Structure 1
Amino acid sequence: MPATLPNGLYKIAFETASGAEYGVAYLQDGKLRGGDSGMAYVGSYQMDGDLLTADLSVTQHRHVPGAVSALGFNNVQLQLAGLVDESKVVRLTGTSPMSKSIRFGARLSLLAD
C-alpha cells in the first residue's frame, strides 16, 4: 500500500550547491503555502500513489540588499517531485522552467497535523 501524505505543517529544507535554506510549508488538499524569513512559497501539489509532485512559486517578501536565495534567484517558479516514505518524509528533487541551472534537493518532514 502506498504511503500517504497527511494535511499538515511541514519543515522544508532546500539543499543546493551554494547552500541550504529552511522554511515551513502547510499542505492541505492540494494547496501548498509557506515560507521563511525572506521568501513566500505558494503553489499546488498532487499525489499519485506515493509520488508527490508540486508546482511552486517562490517570491521574495522581504528585501535585503545583496541577499540571494540558495536557489540563486529571489523570484522563481519551481517543479518538485519525490516519494513519500513510511515515516511521512518526502525526499524531493527540483528544477525550474525558468533556468536549466536550477537543480536542487529538498526534504519535507511533518511537524504537526
Structure 2
Amino acid sequence: MSSLQDLLAQRAEIEKKIADVQREERATAINKVRAMMAEFGLTAADIAGKAPVVRAASAAKPASKVAAKYRNAATGESWTGRGLQPKWLKAALAAGAKIEDFTI
C-alpha cells in the first residue's frame, strides 16, 4: 500500500504533466487558427462575428461644456444646474439661502 506522501507526489507529478500537455495542445491550436486566418485573410473581428463599425464624420462630435448657472461668490465654486446639487449649494440652501442668490 502506498503512503499518503507517495500518493501526493504522484498527484503533483500527474498535474504537472496535465498542465504541460494542455499548454502544448493550446499552442498547437493557436498556430492552426493563425495559419487559417492568414490563409483566408480573416481578422479577429471576422472570427467574433462583429462587423467593423464605420462612423460618419458628423457622428464624432466632441462633447461640449455646459456653462455654469450658479456660483458661490465666497469660494468661486460653480454648478451647471445638471446632476446632483453640490455640497456647498445644499448647505447654503439648508441655511436659508435661496437658489436665486447663486444665479450667475
Question: What interval of TM-score do these two structures reach, taking the shorter chain for normalisation?
Answer: under 0.3
- Which one has a larger percent strand, Structure 1 or Structure 2? 1
Q: TM-score, normalised by structure 2?
A: 0.21
Higher helix share: 2
Using the size of structure 1 for normalisation, the TM-score is: 0.20
Which of the pair has the greater relative contact order for Cα pairs under 8 Å at 6+ separation? 1
